[in-house]
Structure 1
């Protein structure tokens, strides 16, 4: 039986490994490297300010000179553009920053897109990216602002379509993460799942929050259902393994970790899982 402190450490270790939105089918960014590890991708921009120019300038320090020059050229074109052309330029910049795992400038550009073309899809995309930035950054100044901006984006989306499950899911995640009473957010996610039992994002978040609150049995049930009936992904298996590990069910944890490794085919994740499996076999 693990001590409460050991359990808490395992929870934290498991949770912080998964960054950005957990629901991307692309494994890049799934695992945060340890402080002494070398990452192939630049880390999230720790921008002291949150204007587009400040966020971009900070992010450019984390990428190659050639890439930084490309962004400078694109941003110059963005500043000179107007109307639909400006919105299209913002979309391009948002995608390119996201490709480099720089969610803060990416999210800010998507916010510009949503302000220019205020529709449900654009506000949900902006909200999702702000949540990714919230997850990725360790900047104590930027983090709450990212959550606040996500709250605003999903609020705008819900105002456009109060029945949107994507918007409600995003808002539920925002609330549970600190923008309101956690149980209100959980209730919102449960309502989404009631209306759409196979909603991947809502189910994943419910499972994740079950782990954070130490409800490992509920987490296992949730993730097993996701894997069996919705979508078997590297992150769903990883969280399932984390829940099993916290209950001392090492064999089941090892099996789930190895499934996560197999599906991800990601060197960083594979290295972590190999070490984790070795520890669990002791």
Structure 2
């Protein structure tokens, strides 16, 4: 098994309590190059319409007919209230019946925008952000980052002092959302939060994650060490710290943290792969 395939152990554990499981992987060397601004072939840009149509085309004829009828059900009157109910119904359909994440999240997000509630906006935005970290297709990751960024921006108009939303928006820029010239701009906005409150572990974690994506492994190690010291049971931080040490060439420390992460893993095959990686690092 390749390194970037088995490292999904970490993200898989983090997503264990999420809604869906698709075996997504963490950022790889190609994304580090993209984050640093190095040349990389341009990928096709995705839009919401094409994502919804692709998902719909994979449904049964009966499901497609039902969905089309519901999509055209909004009539005159209180259109906003009708749309909120419709988007809630469509989100439930994609979540519970079709089991497709992207349309579910799209309609949940659109419903949140109409409700204009900080709680619902940030819930949808953070759900996007948690899931996109494991997305392998860069174009899809960018689409999700843009969706989350729009939600965070609207939430910040309601509460401009919400540090979690500020960190979330900065994180979206790290993952390629429109509105920033580079991932470093997203990192800088998160740094502003930690300068005000160094104990904000969400900000420290995302700075560590951003450090890995931009090839700043020494800084990633510094940030992630703070996170695991404050929260030893942060599974994703433990595995990311191991990965940061490995990419920085500190194999002994990488092996130590991979060993530490084993306590979070119950899957025998995953444990076997972690042990294999530890052995490779020790020679």
Cα distance change on mapping 1:262 and 1:30 into 2, 3 Å: farther
Number of aligned residues: 252
> How far apart in 2 are the matches of 1:271 and 1:15?
10
> How far apart in 2 are the matches of 1:115 and 1:129?
15
> How far apart in 1 are the matches of 2:267 and 2:277?
15
> How far apart in 2 are the matches of 1:172 and 1:15?
28
> How far apart in 1 are the matches of 2:66 and 2:199?
40
TM-score if structure 2 supplies the norm length?
0.69
Query: Cα distance, 1:207 vs. partner?
Result: 0.7
Aligned to 1:26: 17
Query: Cα distance, 1:159 vs. partner?
Result: 1.4
| RMSD after superposition | 4.1
Cα distance change on mapping 1:146 and 1:21 into 2, 3 Å: farther
Aligned to 1:249: 250
> How far apart in 2 are the matches of 1:107 and 1:119?
16
> How far apart in 1 are the matches of 2:132 and 2:84?
29
Cα distance change on mapping 1:74 and 1:137 into 2, 3 Å: farther
> How far apart in 1 are the matches of 2:256 and 2:122?
35
1:1-282 matches, within 5 Å, as 13=4, 17=8, 26=17, 29=21, 32=24, 50-51=48-49, 53-57=52-56, 79=71, 82=82, 85-90=85-90, 92-93=92-93, 96=96, 102-132=100-130, 134-139=132-137, 141-178=139-176, 179=178, 180-181=180-181, 182-267=183-268, 269-282=270-283
Structure 1: 4+ residue segments shifted above 6 A: 18-23, 71-74
Q: Deviations over 1:165-210 (max 9, x none)?
A: 2211111012223331333311221222344434333221111122
Query: Cα distance, 1:131 vs. partner?
Result: 3.3
Q: Deviations over 1:114-138 (max 9, x none)?
A: 1331111222233233335544444
TM-score if structure 1 supplies the norm length?
0.69
Cα distance change on mapping 1:110 and 1:176 into 2, 3 Å: same
Structure 2, unaligned stretches of length 5 or more? Answer: 27-44, 75-81
Q: Secondary structure at the match of 1:265?
A: coil
Query: Cα distance, 1:76 vs. partner?
Result: 7.7
Query: Cα distance, 1:236 vs. partner?
Result: 1.0
